[in-house]
Structure 1
């Protein structure tokens, strides 16, 4: 009954049918006419003129635009958009999340929405999870864009500011999510227009986020932070790393068993927290000769010791991080398995891990600028996303981003067979079963992809496969340089590949191997030619479609020779033969070695098989020693296995176990959603403050001199008003006015008023006193402007405001960090921590604004222009 009701109220099919009727069919009707257009760029630029000058909207020109984009794809890169890809492109244009299966061509789908929205001339961003995908996506699609007369660029971490400016000035820019976010933060710390990376006007117009669930959900728990070195002793981390070796881990209190925790500390693996017991506190105080570990003077020590224990117990090498050849601790992304150079754990945790590993400790950092991905992408005028797995998270996308999910039909039906999970008593029993299945598959020649959740597991399985005499490749954070090659070969017969998480790998696993990728790699390595030049791309396409003129096309490329072309033709023939062989064997087989805490990650692994109607299969192997099952599953199932006398060779394949796994995953997903929601609630408070500060800063940085002068005069007037309200309150008699205090405050900021008769204000009404003092300050400002010249005065004002804003904002962020770390304690006093946080944060921000106005006034009147340069 529920399935029937879901179908009745499911808008997805209705929306797809509507797009087919209003967009796809009209675009198809224009195809024959569009194929006759000789100059696609001129036709596309005419659409731009209609949008920018003729008053038409993008929706008015979407059909002819899509027709031209499809034709450009066919002519330039030999790829014609499928009808289902047109549906996806329109969904992206409307700011929706497009769920598309692996292998359905998301890279090509994005070109439709990007090129269409580029008609406005305000820039569009394609946001990916890593530099490799950004570069490959840009290079692969650049010919299509240029055929339409559009410019395309790539913004990467290694670029100089002027190179970044050129990239973001293009109609379409490919960039990673982290680099884009950091560019935004850096732009809001810039001291000149020339230092900006993003466009000065319309910097955040339209974005498509690839692997949107990975970026906006999985990574949303970690805010983007730009830090600067703070003065803090790092040698203490080494001291505390040694100290905690003398402490004993205990068990937490358990109702009905014991009322007090045991040992010196206990750990909460689910929440990744540490609790030091009373006995542990006494022991630490004795070892460090302290009177009170939690006194105000020792709070830093207590924090560092807690982080040292967390580093020891909760963060593990080869799972949460690696140590590279240079002795740097590099974080591993728990969802993608990729290393994240440049990213560091906050609040001293990274330093504690470095001390544990005995490597050089980098200085403690202080936050200079920060923003969450949620609030960053909500700054865009419009943004959309695409991924293979989003429908399960639709509620979160709607709640936080206002974007719903449209499931795009596949071009061909899915043929993959997903088997029930097999659950073993122990990890070793599970691994032995995995190796046995790989041996059976490998004996037939069928390709196998093994997904693991950590580097440790991938290397352990690699050792077991080596012992079994099975050749294989390993893909994890240690071997990212070989990533594309490994993935491109993973569909060949007899291939066994171990991969640590398969989210966002970019290169499709094609049965028989990806001949185009392998050929492109050979052209670069053997001939030293770029695979992305129009001539080379045309040659690769000719080989791919077995064009009889392939030899002639190749010989026209300088540096190409007959032997190489002959090898390329043979490679394509061998690939096609192998592709059919693998299809006959059943396609790619996926083995998951444990369930991830997110069902989406499991689905992404499964989705690597069965692309574009290919056959395939998948099965997950689970043990009750896996972290997910150990922390969240039902202990009664393990007890039942023990009672039945089941050993490591006997798996369970039962609905009760599958239900336990799904419940465990749902529990973790709910916990993670709560974490993200809480992070967003707290950041929303900061977001309003950040928007105010950044808007003021941008106005001063980019605005005309008249606006800068107006802003400066406004701040000075507000400062004077504040001092008047403080020292000459209207609800007190003139005799009680603090004239001396007013004189000291005003002359400290405006020394030019040393001769002003403050005592004369006592005989005036509050309004008259305000008018008199403001007029005197305005005269002093005019005199200052005449002294320096209007141009120099504006330069000084601009410089002063930017410097003061940056310094005070940095201090405010530090204060907010401290406030947030301790605000939870307010709960013990029966007060809501979040309400308290909002109140305290507002008070702190108002105080910062008052200080800002006072400091700007002081520096404008006191600083010599020469000092500003």
Structure 2
């Protein structure tokens, strides 16, 4: 009560923060008359002046008022758009490294030009992150006019660019691109072998458009660089054929947690079916150790059939299973569910099963964007997720007031007993709006439900448009004209569409479509004027009819998604209305409501076709949504705790890798590795305070022979009077140093330095890739430690650290072993490994509703003479090491050194009849 009174008297914390921006806005406005008088060249020259002032010690904050005034004047001249005062405030909030919540239609794209220009003056680059390539291209061209007018360079990162084109784009003052492209480029850069090959500069400042979609909805979606693993498509098909033979008592399904598992009877049934099909030995059981793969495939097949629905969670298009983003309704082309789930869905839908992948490099969007020293974002809906933004990213959310008060009327929800009654009420409302010439936007939660409603409207002969993942290409056109009189548009979710619904229609879109073939300028101008007049008349007619009416066919788990749909109406003070229709059959009501609700409504005398409408219902639904949001936040936060462990290791690996790339002479590092390996051998063979008869001399000799290829009289050394471990260590160190010095003398120091660098970086990458796989496996089973009263997270941290130490030890030994056995037979320096091809870049998608452990699919990248991605066919690199060849001579089947370069798919020259990649070409 006291808090409410204080808010009325002094305003909320948000109001007070926004009010502090009034003075800078007044100072910006005061500069406007002065800037109007400047010529274009004089206005452009202010950029040079700002940069000089920064070099002399002034800060960006010192320049903010003048820079913002300059951008506003430039936008007026170039775009014909002048920033409103509230847009200036939004720009200041973004410059402060916060999230600006601005309603739909408030011009967030234009707002971004202010902080982007100001921060680009430092010369360190600014990234503007969008949700798709269309918006990245559009905004870079549209807003790029302002930056170029003021003398800044603008680049855009989209799919299919070459490395050189990416380097040029990242070198620009302002770079637009999608979150996927920025993330992939970060990973690819950290797989390069020369600094000059890297595309990105050091991160400086990023503005994330639709920040809630990218930093919240996609927070569990790791970006992964991967390659194909072993093919097991037939096993997926075999397991898929068994699931339809199960009865409901054979599995338990929890829709709230979105999990499904075999019951005891189900396990017996699936075992019986597998034995009948020859998948399982008759004397074995499903959960025997050797049948782990069968359990995995059967479980994923069960999930594919019982948890995932076609046209809701995914669609089938062009013989591919394509995921549907539950938050935006968009197709997520190129993304795949992990852990074989996508292959199970492909088997279910009887399309081509693509091979699984193994991870070479990965990062989550959470950890990617936390790499930026300064980060900000903008969206129409962020306040509901403010706690998560604050805790995970350290970002404060500030609600920016609208330029004109919102005139939209948000009606209370209508709750019906059945979906049939609800649908009937929705159709009646749509027909009523259409008679009055009021446009309607109908929001559904899935393709299936949008098409079901479309069928009903067709039966009622109501003309309409459908916007969902099936009609993705027509998106901009459909949305731009959804405000015309009487227009009915059905859409699956409305997040991040990037196109406003303007009452009466969109002039520019109509001109682009209707006048595309008109070349005569006079005719074009006349027809454009006619379109403008027609749209203006239509706009007035729509306003009289009540503006755009938004109809929600059910509530989403997240309030933010509902708010995004509502926010499409009432832009810039336009009239509008919204209402959500619910039934007890809706997923949210069915899963999170109570089973007694239907009986209670009948007792209250609710008749067929009647609805409950009360603000208490709205409050109850909001509380249910808050509980779901809190649960989902806990899931994401818990996953991030685990990912932070790997992220700390990843940053360390990438930092050291960057240092390696910058050095030409790594002989000292390689020497230290060699000495550490020798020291480890001696320490294990000769424990402290042990008697000579307790020494494991045989193991020490075997290790020295295996790693260094040296036959040394270690037994004789051990029999010498008074010898100790230090003396043996010194003799071994001297022997291996002498061996490497002879190699360097034979091959020349320059070639040896190149070989050392090439081997070190190859083994470094191979070791990191294997470490990622080990972490995945560790993560999958770590939750079981809770049964032993141990904290799984602490156990994971401890074991991950031990695995990391083990990886470093294995890497040192492997580098030493390969260099000790390497044979150099090339005149030119050995080539550095090639980076992954674009085909190896994948985004692995974790179903946000599943609380399962995050275990990304993985990849192997072989670095050898053929320089191709291949399957892994053995353990660590063999003692023979990479053979770098010199010259051409007659190929001897018994001497691989005479074979030269052999295609990976060619028959092996040894005469075995197998392919080279399956024989001598394997990297073992």
Matched, 1:48 2:47: no
Residue 219 of structure 1 corresponds to 218
Quote the Cα distance in structure 2 between the aligned partners of 1:582 and 1:16. 33
Residue 554 of structure 1 corresponds to none
Residue 772 of structure 2 corresponds to 813
Q: 1:369 aligns with which of 361, 366, 374?
A: 361
Matched, 1:32 2:25: no
Q: 1:526 aligns with which of 517, 523, 527?
A: 517
Quote the Cα distance in structure 1 between the aligned partners of 2:740 and 2:66. 59
User: What SS does structure 2 have at the residue aligned with 1:840?
Assistant: helix
Are the aligned partners of 2:417 and 2:598 in contact in 1 as well (CA < 8 Å)?
Answer: yes
Residue 139 of structure 1 corresponds to 141
User: What SS does structure 1 have at the residue aligned with 2:128?
Assistant: strand
User: What SS does structure 1 have at the residue aligned with 2:218?
Assistant: helix
Residue 260 of structure 1 corresponds to none
Moved more, 69-78 or 12-21: 12-21
Are the aligned partners of 1:800 and 1:856 in contact in 2 as well (CA < 8 Å)?
Answer: yes
User: What SS does structure 2 have at the residue aligned with 1:344?
Assistant: strand
Matched, 1:863 2:866: no
Quote the Cα distance in structure 2 between the aligned partners of 1:775 and 1:475. 74
Q: 1:286 aligns with which of 263, 272, 275?
A: 272
Residue 627 of structure 1 corresponds to 587
Cα deviation digits, residues 766-795 of structure 1 (max 9, x gap) = 556555654554454444334333432332
Q: 1:301 aligns with which of 277, 294, 301?
A: 294
User: What SS does structure 1 have at the residue aligned with 2:766?
Assistant: helix
Matched, 1:471 2:429: no
User: What SS does structure 2 have at the residue aligned with 1:497?
Assistant: strand
Give the CA deviation at 1:305. 0.7
Residue 82 of structure 2 corresponds to 80
Cα deviation digits, residues 492-544 of structure 1 (max 9, x gap) = 11111111100000011111112123324445x425xxxxxxxxxxxxxxxxx
User: What SS does structure 2 have at the residue aligned with 1:221?
Assistant: coil
- Taking a change above 3 Å as real, the CA distance of residues 797 and 267 of structure 1, as seen in their structure-2 partners, is same
Matched, 1:728 2:686: yes
Give the CA deviation at 1:709. 4.0
User: What SS does structure 1 have at the residue aligned with 2:242?
Assistant: helix
- Taking a change above 3 Å as real, the CA distance of residues 4 and 713 of structure 1, as seen in their structure-2 partners, is farther
Quote the Cα distance in structure 2 between the aligned partners of 1:458 and 1:339. 15
User: What SS does structure 2 have at the residue aligned with 1:175?
Assistant: strand
Residue 206 of structure 2 corresponds to 207
Quote the Cα distance in structure 2 between the aligned partners of 1:734 and 1:512. 95
User: What SS does structure 2 have at the residue aligned with 1:198?
Assistant: coil
Matched, 1:693 2:653: yes
Give the CA deviation at 1:285. 1.4
Moved more, 205-214 or 711-720: 711-720
Quote the Cα distance in structure 2 between the aligned partners of 1:72 and 1:717. 64
Cα deviation digits, residues 80-137 of structure 1 (max 9, x gap) = 2111111111111121111111111111111111111111212111111111111111
- Taking a change above 3 Å as real, the CA distance of residues 66 and 287 of structure 1, as seen in their structure-2 partners, is same
Moved more, 728-737 or 828-837: 728-737
How does 1:405-424 map onto structure 2 within 5 Å?
A: 405-424=397-416
How does 1:296-695 map onto structure 2 within 5 Å?
A: 296-324=289-317, 326-522=318-514, 525-526=516-517, 559-695=519-655
User: What SS does structure 2 have at the residue aligned with 1:30?
Assistant: helix
Cα deviation digits, residues 183-237 of structure 1 (max 9, x gap) = 21222222344543323xx1x2211111111111111122222221111421111
Quote the Cα distance in structure 1 between the aligned partners of 2:766 and 2:497. 41
Quote the Cα distance in structure 2 between the aligned partners of 1:271 and 1:813. 28
Matched, 1:854 2:853: no
Are the aligned partners of 1:633 and 1:660 in contact in 2 as well (CA < 8 Å)?
Answer: no
Quote the Cα distance in structure 2 between the aligned partners of 1:5 and 1:756. 87
Quote the Cα distance in structure 2 between the aligned partners of 1:161 and 1:390. 35
Moved more, 798-807 or 503-512: 798-807
Quote the Cα distance in structure 2 between the aligned partners of 1:587 and 1:853. 70
- Taking a change above 3 Å as real, the CA distance of residues 736 and 6 of structure 1, as seen in their structure-2 partners, is farther
Residue 708 of structure 2 corresponds to 750
Aligned length: 815
Give the CA deviation at 1:621. 0.6
Quote the Cα distance in structure 2 between the aligned partners of 1:781 and 1:381. 44
Quote the Cα distance in structure 2 between the aligned partners of 1:767 and 1:57. 59
- Taking a change above 3 Å as real, the CA distance of residues 311 and 736 of structure 1, as seen in their structure-2 partners, is same
Matched, 1:15 2:17: yes
Quote the Cα distance in structure 2 between the aligned partners of 1:440 and 1:361. 48
Give the CA deviation at 1:648. 4.3
Quote the Cα distance in structure 2 between the aligned partners of 1:81 and 1:230. 53
Cα deviation digits, residues 730-785 of structure 1 (max 9, x gap) = 3434554444433433443334x556878658756655655565455445444433
Give the CA deviation at 1:66. 1.3
Residue 260 of structure 2 corresponds to 274
Moved more, 110-119 or 790-799: 790-799
Are the aligned partners of 2:697 and 2:714 in contact in 1 as well (CA < 8 Å)?
Answer: no
In structure 2, list runs of 5 or more residues that go unmatched. 832-924
- Taking a change above 3 Å as real, the CA distance of residues 50 and 746 of structure 1, as seen in their structure-2 partners, is farther
The normalised TM-score by structure 1 is 0.90
Quote the Cα distance in structure 2 between the aligned partners of 1:754 and 1:24. 80
The normalised TM-score by structure 2 is 0.85
Cα deviation digits, residues 130-164 of structure 1 (max 9, x gap) = 11111111111111010111111111112222222
Are the aligned partners of 2:558 and 2:625 in contact in 1 as well (CA < 8 Å)?
Answer: yes
Quote the Cα distance in structure 1 between the aligned partners of 2:238 and 2:265. 20
Residue 699 of structure 2 corresponds to 741
Q: 1:124 aligns with which of 119, 123, 126?
A: 126
Are the aligned partners of 2:130 and 2:208 in contact in 1 as well (CA < 8 Å)?
Answer: yes
Give the CA deviation at 1:299. 1.1
Are the aligned partners of 1:445 and 1:494 in contact in 2 as well (CA < 8 Å)?
Answer: yes
Give the CA deviation at 1:830. 2.6
Residue 73 of structure 2 corresponds to 71
Give the CA deviation at 1:675. 1.1
- Taking a change above 3 Å as real, the CA distance of residues 741 and 168 of structure 1, as seen in their structure-2 partners, is same
Cα deviation digits, residues 788-816 of structure 1 (max 9, x gap) = 33432332222212211222222222222
Residue 190 of structure 2 corresponds to 188
Quote the Cα distance in structure 2 between the aligned partners of 1:212 and 1:788. 56
Give the CA deviation at 1:313. 1.0
Quote the Cα distance in structure 2 between the aligned partners of 1:84 and 1:308. 53
Quote the Cα distance in structure 2 between the aligned partners of 1:316 and 1:349. 13
In structure 1, list runs of 5 or more residues that go unmatched. 250-262, 528-558
Q: 1:803 aligns with which of 750, 756, 762?
A: 762
Moved more, 183-192 or 675-684: 183-192
Q: What RMSD, in angstroms, separates the aligned Cα atoms of the two structures?
A: 2.1
